[in-house]
Amino acid sequence: MKRNTVFVVCFCIAVLAVSGSHAVKPEKTPKPEKTPGLTTECIIFEGDLESAGDTIIVGCCPNAGPWPAYTMTLDVMGISNGTYDGYLFINVFGTGPSAQYKVQFWTWDDDERDPGTGDYFFEIYGGVLDRNRKTKVLTVTVDDEPATVWVYHDDFDPVEVPIPSVSFVLVRTGDLSYCQ
């Protein structure tokens, strides 16, 4: 009886080994390509500043650049309201409970770093930050904060236009489903 049991156990192990070696393994889902040191994020503006076009951004806003291409609709006093192709910089400004958010947007070609006629540079500091650590979503609510726009004309001398009240909501997350 022991001999039969040993034979059955050995036979079962052999069958499992052979079937496992011939099993069809599922294909791995390819991971999205990553650029070393750069993250892919969803960045959305709504309000006086509004996202226009693609809001999935690669490599936004470490302190030394890159400054990703971004299309934004501006609806603020002091400039021709409309949709502009430009570049974006956003980041936390300050620390602790007094931390604010810095948003900069400009319309000239970043490679030239030389504004031309009809170019704009928009800048605002402020807002209330809400970091949801569970979902990894940062929401910044800017309500009636002062901002500045520099408007460039033919002579490349900017005209500074203070804007007394700008309001918008910014959502920044690595969850790209927010952009769909």
Locate the domains of the chain by residue range.
28-179
Mean pLDDT over residues 140-160, rounded? 85
Mean pLDDT over residues 136-149, rounded? 93
Q: Note the Cα 48 to chain centre separation in Å.
A: 19
**pLDDT, tens only, 15-61:** 555 555 555 555 554 444 554 556 889 999 999 899 987 788 888 87
What is the end-to-end Cα distance of the chain in Å, rounded? 66
SS3 (DSSP) at 12 = helix
Residue with tokens 């496992």: 20
